[in-house]
Structure 1
């Protein structure tokens, strides 16, 4: 867009004359507006960053103090900042943010979890057991049920009315056998297991 042609179209006389058609005392030149094109921010002088080079002085003083055992200006800046002038002089240190979980609360939860795991391990729970241990436990349990079943058969507890359970075959950990249980033998096996659990529970309570 040509501003001069546009103004002449609306009656402007040209360069050196004001925009007012009848008064010659009006402004003949536009107002000059100062533009801030630096990154210093509001309220700062553009010469401040050149007149107060505290970081350069701190670096030079630290170089001179090398090998003498003295502490340079960089050590003071790192410890307490610059009190006057420079960038650090315009900052105010506020209160630090605190977490929502206290240290004692986190330690208490960790301790409870550790105690719970140790109790399960002492009672022979699932914690710490491998697949081989579980298989051996199943085989031992099945062998115990077979023993109870054989005792019931020897005592004459099996009758013709009892329905036989499906045949169970166990392979692994050196075991390969087949067993058939009756309903009465299963009841006796469950009673035996319950009595053993009660005995183990009683021993734990005594400890």
Structure 2
């Protein structure tokens, strides 16, 4: 039987952020955390809780919602996560750069065993330089790509998380997981 990785009693920061970032669950959690829940309203108003009847408990402010769930997106390398080392080592292979230890990673070895027909030979692939510049924005000084000059103006209102990583680069499996199916279906 499949055991969900978050089912253990202890929940560390990394699995929590990973799970929260998988879709609208993170948005819903933020709304609950801000105190917009029905349960908190019930406690403060002194009324008893009743099961939902299908009607909204507040007057909806949004008149329309457009939800685009698209495969793909912009690169993290050219949005909110500058990588100056890419420009320094552009044109080299990973083996020629100081980061050749990445090729000996146990995580990469596992991926190589799982994806035997991978068309990209990681030992010969060249490092590609960044294609767009970055500038610091807001009081926080977070670097934002030149693709998003207007976002840079309000970057202090965003939560930019740069500490997350994964060993899975299989986008199809992640798409299946995000849309509610099992990770191995992709």
Quickly name the TM-score band, shorter chain normalised: under 0.3
TM-score by length of 1: 0.18
More helix by share: 1
When Rg is computed on C-alpha atoms for both structures, the one with the higher figure is 1
TM-score by length of 2: 0.20
